[in-house]
Chains A and B, each alone.
Chain A
Amino acid sequence: MNTSVDLGGLRLKNPIMSASGTFGYGLEFAPYGDLQKLGAIVVKGLSLQPRSGNPPPRITETPCGMLNAIGLQNVGVEKFLREKLPFLPADKTPVIANLYAQGAGEFAELAAILGDEPKVSALEINISCPNVRCGGVQFGQDPEAAAFVTRQVRRACPDKPLIIKLSPNVTDIRVIARSVQEAGADIISLINTLGGMAVDIHSRKPRLANTVGGLSGPAVKPVALKMVYEVCGVVDIPVIGLGGICSARDALEFIMVGAHAVQIGTANFMRPDLIFDLVDELPVLLAELGVESLEKFRGSLETA
């Protein structure tokens, strides 16, 4: 079955993408599967300068999920271009750079650098990281700020598809989604992690050195599904759904509520070859359901 999808100029052979921050720079998973099989590889969030991230402990397990406060540790854009990107199969499967910056100007500078790189197929702008002091979610919680960043990045990188990654930690995600669409986003991805916290009553300390973090995994899937459903109802541009997807069934749930594609995040930690298996399982499940094409299945949810 043909499971290819067209995301506003970004063509994927299948709708299964990795989610930023859970798949390293892609190369970490090369020993466990063929990276070329994936719809797209979204790499760890990149900043202009390398970042060392937050002190440990940075992660803690929660029921059906986990909290993280990594703080966007990354090698920086220069080292990524020099030491990581050349080894990714960018001619066979799209490589999408995820960008993090502390201000709109820095976002634009980073977008200009990555926009010039032929092996990068699209940019995903992270205006939703809850674990950093500056930038991140402060852009994603205000429709004006989100639009401003989108316009700046759009101007700096006019030629590549632009994905804006939204935060669920907002009053009404539809407002933000419409705002970034109007500002020139080609694609919207959601959701980033939900703000969360875990504490230890014995030590009376938080379980994360950062005190608070972002919740991900199957625990957040119902929240993600609702938000993807809501956003798909108010925008005209393609939507990438993510949040707790662990199986082909989960992926189809997001597509059924309107998503064009999905990203696999925390599930990559459950088993390093899980994402590769999903690519094989998706057409099998579609056939079982008697679905003729992914296109017809998308948005086919029947509400009373």
Chain B
Amino acid sequence: MHNTCQTKSRFCDRVRLLGLDFAGHPDFVHLYLEPPSWDYTPGQFVMLRPEIWVQDPIWPRPFSICEKTPEYMRIFVQVVGRGTSLLSSAVPDSEINMWGPLGRGFRLSLDKRYLILAGGMGIAPFVGLCKEHPYPGKLSLIFGHRMDRSCYPFDELPGEMQRQSMRQTNQEDMEHFGRVLQEQIARFAFKGEILACGPMPFLQVVHKHVLETGAPAQLSVETRMACGVGACLGCVVETRSQGLVQSCVQGPVFDAGELVL
């Protein structure tokens, strides 16, 4: 199936920033944007570039879609560099260029059980997924995080879900978390499917254990992107069957067995 010139499946909108909500910490902020006309699949992302950036920073920034309601589109941002720092100090009512929904999200089926593994900011794409799921009892979440739990949108997730959070502040915690992931992946294995998102070292641990057990799993990767639309060829990841592929169009969600991490 090719993209033909007739396809108008994605949009670039200039949306208004409705407001910002700091999660009790200056480095974690929820951006509330005017909701776009389109719908999305959890795991898909948008590119954001405030109009005021003019020529610097040159690139837009990619973000998972955290949640979309009739009132707003919500993007969860951690300040890690210049772009995210500028976004966290954006002025309400300012205009942001936003295009999406981009990439392939998680393939979901409502009757299936899911074990969600999220590392830090990797919780973002699961917020809308969990809150909108008609049967949240089918979802379990293991959430690993470095900063205080209150920085992340964890407590707002449905109470019917089985939720477990673990903080890692040192190497020992990380190793312990790795063992918990290994145990939980082995225990869950074929009861449903595993969904994971988080930083690369976290994904590598998840990847290793799902491949060992053969458990079906979908992993969402994070890469550096310039365009988000398949043009810059900057965001490639290595896959088993196709070599280097663009995570912006063929990902960011991949079957674990397809990825080489």
Chain A contacts to B: CB under 8 angstroms = 21-24, 27-32, 35, 44, 52-53, 55-61, 63-66, 68, 70, 73, 83, 87-89, 217-218, 246, 266, 268-273
Contact = CB atoms under 8 A, between A and B. Distances in A.
Interface in B1-37: 2-5, 7-12
23 contacts: A21-B233, A23-B231, A28-B231, A28-B249, A29-B229, A29-B231, A30-B4, A30-B5, A32-B10, A56-B223, A56-B237, A57-B234, A61-B58, A63-B56, A73-B244, A217-B55, A218-B55, A218-B58, A268-B227, A269-B58, A270-B58, A271-B49, A272-B99
A22 B244 contact: no
Nearest to A84: B2
Interface of B: 2-5, 7-12, 49, 55-60, 97, 99, 223-224, 226-237, 243-244, 249
Contacts of A44: 231, 233
A58 B56 contact: no
Contacts of A32: 10-12, 99, 229
A31 B7 contact: yes
Interface centre among B9, B10, B233, B235, by most chain A C-beta atoms within 10 angstroms, is B233
Nearest to B8: A31
A107 B3 CA distance: 29
B229 A52 contact: no
Contact of B3 (A27, A60, A70, A266): A27
A75 to B, nearest CB: 11
Nearest to B237: A56
Given A24-B231, A218-B56, A272-B227, 4 more contacts: A29-B231, A35-B5, A66-B226, A87-B5
A68 B232 contact: yes
Contact of B12 (A35, A52, A56, A273): A273
A218 B55 CA distance: 7
Contacts of B249: 28
Contacts of B224: 56-57, 59-60
Contacts of A24: 229-231
A70 B233 contact: yes
A57 B226 CA distance: 12
Contacts of B60: 269-271
B231 A53 contact: no
B224 to A, nearest CB: 6
Contact of B229 (A56, A57, A272): A272
